Amino acid sequence: MPANRQTFLATGLGIGLLTNLENTLTAYEPTVGFDPTNLTKANVPTPALLLDLDLFESNVQKMAEHCRRSNRGFRPHAKTHKCPEIAKRQMAAGALGICAATVPEAEALVAAGITGVLLTSPIVEPTKIARMVSLIQQGRGVMLSVGHPREVELLSAAASTAGINVDVLVDVDIGDRRTGIMPGQPAVELAQFIAKHKRLHIRGVQSYAGHASHVVGFEARDKVSREVMGKSAATRDLLNKAGFDAGILSGGSTGTYNIDSTVQGVTELQVGSYVFMDIDYRRIGGQTSGENYADFQHSLTVLATVVNATHADRVSVDAGTKALDTTTAWKPEAKGWPGLTYNRGGDEFGMLTLEPGAKLPQIGDRIEFLVPHCDPNVNLYDRIYATRGEKVEAIWPIAARRG
Amino acid sequence: MPANRQTFLATGLGIGLLTNLENTLTAYEPTVGFDPTNLTKANVPTPALLLDLDLFESNVQKMAEHCRRSNRGFRPHAKTHKCPEIAKRQMAAGALGICAATVPEAEALVAAGITGVLLTSPIVEPTKIARMVSLIQQGRGVMLSVGHPREVELLSAAASTAGINVDVLVDVDIGDRRTGIMPGQPAVELAQFIAKHKRLHIRGVQSYAGHASHVVGFEARDKVSREVMGKSAATRDLLNKAGFDAGILSGGSTGTYNIDSTVQGVTELQVGSYVFMDIDYRRIGGQTSGENYADFQHSLTVLATVVNATHADRVSVDAGTKALDTTTAWKPEAKGWPGLTYNRGGDEFGMLTLEPGAKLPQIGDRIEFLVPHCDPNVNLYDRIYATRGEKVEAIWPIAARRG
């Protein structure tokens, strides 16, 4: 190992920041033209996913403090970041565990030593259930959510075969109509069905209201989320009256964290996007910050390079639909470049057009973009460059991304 | 190695089909609940990207035969598949080389032994140029395209430092306005500027007309593509009259392959999507096949599992925006399930709703979807399950995907 690399690895850049850096570089980066001791925003290969560590750390702390003050737990959702290094920092800030949307996410989290992983999505493939049983056998407090009798049967059979007990939450559908059982009596009946399977133990209820998280305007959002989370809380009460020990009520989102933490009965928040923020969340407005939701800061950007400047009215950057998620109605925004509009230029390129009087970038200029929707944007990448100012402090694998 | 695995690896499943299978499984797959000797469409973990080998091989051969009959070369574009195993099969069918849209693609192709790689995108980052120089030094006929004086200066400096010669194509902008130099005199002036840099050697011209490839209706598309490729051919003639040895005219697309192969001067086709096909191409109509372009067959699908069936009017599948690209106006189509409509259900799920009289899938059912746009859809995955009938014959890494 060259001396400068040793120095780099040994300097005090923060506990754990360099975890897996060696492996990461080995796995992902060419050696030509790539000096890990001197990575900056000026020389990381583009398109690149960047995380501003100061803003990220501020977001992590702010949510943790909110939950502490509110006497609620939080189990942040890894579907947003798919990054065990980020999960570790959420745990260090006091999280009860980490939510996973997929089995590969759960596997990557458990492999990184995360405890209290909750799989929030339904699974009915026998091989995936076997993989979850294998994780549970590691004794790190892994839980599943179930919302259909078929899931119960399959999970019970696998648990019996393995001779293990499985903690489950009843997934209650409070309006998204995509996973879970209906609240009230149907949920009680599902719980009674679960109770017939001796290896399965009900620990509580989970609900996600995607339709509440992005309601524009705090008052309107407060009304919607309070109503739907109330359904989940009432269902939890019904379960407890029926003799179950449904201690957990897990739900909520970055858009409703300060609403759901005042709903009676909610025990923990499944917040995700707060670590990064995005344009889709910014526009929903905050309780005190007006039209732009500003409770958390935009720590996530995509860095791109201007690769064509043939025309007077536009330039091309090397970030198209493969590098910048454009599945929402919002456009990526060029940070620090007022008057530039990002337009899709196909899979490989973005086109920046100019408002009157705006300054056109030059070929070779590097531009950071705020992303419209963080989750699917992160999913396009294998690593995050974690930056402090201009310097890259670490490269974090998006290890839970596996497709 | 267990005996059944040995047997699997030894059976005659086609030369090269199992290349890297061992490595792939080690790198990507959990061992629990995953038996590589018995992978079928019924048990690969979903969401999964599937390639029907019979249809794929038919597409590869049909394009190769068309080019042979037309006395044109073809240099298929790897931006579509990012998969060296597919590139090898295109080479075996007679391709002159393979196009790459990114430096990581070029690196993965060269590492797989592919010759004649052409980087079709502009690069202006010194580290990326150094990586391309390193590839050229391997002597496998790597070429770059250049469309701006700044690219020329940077490439020339790197080539001089390394002491190597670099073959380049002049990238001519025939209407997309995203890369390249304008046709005619501006291209000649760029060529003259290139000629001042002794390490750079002009081999020809490249043009891509994304705006021509998807024109609906064969006659309309024929008119547009003929006109714009004519600009490129005329520019190539100008270069040759000016004393350059511009032998190559590279361009075209899956939508215009049978048009551009009749344009005088076009020497090779940069066809990409033909190996997979997608809904976006199907709707453009064919020369002889009417409204549905049927020259190539839909070999690419996404396999998903029904994971929720709580409601009478819909079911949820485990393929949302992270698994099924929905950046075009078209929706994924459930193969063999008439009357089902795919709707976005967020990042993790898709919602299937029913037309009157259609049959609702059951929880656990596995459904294959035709994809709206193949390139960005493949980019969401790390591997392709190559199938023959119901059986998975091989797992091919999407090794050139790196973000």
At A88-104, the pLDDT tens digits run 999 999 999 999 999 99
For residue A206, the surrounding DSSP H or E stretch is: strand A200-207
User: Is B189 within 8 Å of chain A by CB?
Assistant: no
Is the Cβ pair A347, B379 closer than 8 Å?
yes
Cis peptide before A47 (omega within 30 of 0): yes
Contacts 24+ apart (CB under 8 A), B388-393: B388/B52, B388/B53, B388/B54, B390/B40, B390/B41, B390/B42, B391/B39, B391/B40, B392/B39, B392/B40, B392/B41, B392/B44, B393/B13, B393/B14, B393/B17, B393/B18, B393/B53
User: Is A130 within 8 Å of chain B by CB?
Assistant: yes
Is the Cβ pair B306, A124 closer than 8 Å?
yes
Interval A254-280 mean pLDDT = 98
DSSP for residue A197 = S
Q: Among B108, B79, B92, which residue's Cα sits nearest to residue B20?
A: B108
Window 283-312 of B, Cβ < 8 Å to A: 305-311
User: Is A179 within 8 Å of chain B by CB?
Assistant: yes
pLDDT cut 70: percent of chain A above it: 91
- Roughly how many angstroms between the first and final C-alpha of chain A, as a whole number? 34
Model confidence pLDDT, tens digit, residues A354-377 = 998 898 999 999 999 999 999 999
User: Is B278 within 8 Å of chain A by CB?
Assistant: no
Interval A192-213 mean pLDDT = 96
What is the three-class DSSP state of A236? Answer: helix
User: Is B28 within 8 Å of chain A by CB?
Assistant: yes
Q: Nearest CA of chain A to the CA of B402: how many Å?
A: 7
Q: Strand pairing of B300-308 and B314-317?
A: antiparallel
Q: Mutation test of the interface with chain A: which of B121, B133, B153, B318, choosing the one with the most A Cβ atoms within 10 A?
A: B318
* ipTM (interface predicted TM): 0.92
Q: Is the dihedral of CA B225, B228, B230, B232 positive or negative?
A: negative
Are B302 and B324 contacting, i.e. CB atoms less than 8 angstroms apart?
yes
Window 144-163 of A, Cβ < 8 Å to B: 147-148, 150
pLDDT score for A38: 87
Q: What is the model's pTM? A: 0.92
pLDDT score for B47: 98
> Whole-angstrom Cα distance, residue B30 to residue A104?
9
pLDDT score for B20: 32
- Each of the 403 residues of chain B gets a pLDDT tens digit; together they read 333 333 333 322 222 333 333 333 333 344 555 676 789 999 999 999 999 999 999 999 999 999 999 999 999 999 999 999 999 999 999 999 999 999 999 999 999 999 999 999 999 999 999 999 999 999 999 999 999 999 999 999 999 999 999 999 999 999 999 999 999 999 999 999 999 999 999 999 999 999 999 999 999 999 999 999 999 999 999 999 999 999 999 999 999 999 999 999 999 999 999 999 999 999 999 999 889 999 999 999 999 999 999 999 999 999 999 999 999 999 999 999 999 999 999 999 999 999 988 989 999 999 999 999 999 999 999 999 999 999 999 999 999 987 6
> Whole-angstrom Cα distance, residue B149 to residue B310?
61
pLDDT score for A28: 40
Tracing tokens 């398109």 back to the chain, one arrives at A47
Q: Which among A125, A177, A344 has the least Cβ separation from residue B46?
A: A125
Tracing tokens 């005619």 back to the chain, one arrives at B184
For residue A394, the surrounding DSSP H or E stretch is: strand A391-397
Window 318-337 of B, Cβ < 8 Å to A: 318, 321-323, 325-327
Q: Strand pairing of A200-207 and A166-171?
A: parallel
Q: Nearest CA of chain B to the CA of A69: how many Å?
A: 31
Model confidence pLDDT, tens digit, residues B149-160 = 999 999 999 999
Is the Cβ pair A316, B179 closer than 8 Å?
yes
Model confidence pLDDT, tens digit, residues B4-50 = 333 333 322 222 333 333 333 333 344 555 676 789 999 999 999 99
Q: Is the dihedral of CA A177, A180, A185, A189 positive or negative?
A: positive
pLDDT score for B17: 31
User: Is A385 within 8 Å of chain B by CB?
Assistant: no
Give me the DSSP letters along B60-90.
HHHHHHHHHHTT-EE--BTTTT--HHHHHHH
Average pLDDT, chain A: 91
In B285-332, DSSP assigns E strands to 300-308, 314-317
Please name the amino acid found at residue A320.
Answer: G
User: Is B105 within 8 Å of chain A by CB?
Assistant: no
- Count of pairs with CB atoms under 8 A, one residue in A, one in B: 194
Please tell me which residue of chain A has the smallest CA distance to B373. A347
Q: Which among A307, A348, A403 has the least Cβ separation from residue B124?
A: A307
Is the Cβ pair B379, A380 closer than 8 Å?
yes
Residue A125 has pLDDT above 80, yes or no: yes
Are B79 and B377 contacting, i.e. CB atoms less than 8 angstroms apart?
no
User: How open is the CA angle A101-A104-A107, to the nearest 5 degrees?
Assistant: 105
Q: Which chain B residues touch A307 with a CB distance below 8 Å?
A: 121-124, 179
User: How open is the CA angle A178-A280-A287, to the nearest 5 degrees?
Assistant: 100
Distance of CA B85 to the CA centre of its chain: 12
Is the Cβ pair A347, B124 closer than 8 Å?
no
Are B284 and B274 contacting, i.e. CB atoms less than 8 angstroms apart?
no
Residue A33 has pLDDT above 80, yes or no: no
Q: Which among B125, B150, B308 has the least Cβ separation from residue A179?
A: B308
> Whole-angstrom Cα distance, residue A229 to residue A173?
10
Q: Which among A30, A375, A383 has the least Cβ separation from residue B107?
A: A30
Q: Which chain B residues touch A347 with a CB distance below 8 Å?
A: 79, 101, 373, 375-376, 379
> Whole-angstrom Cα distance, residue B320 to residue A81?
16
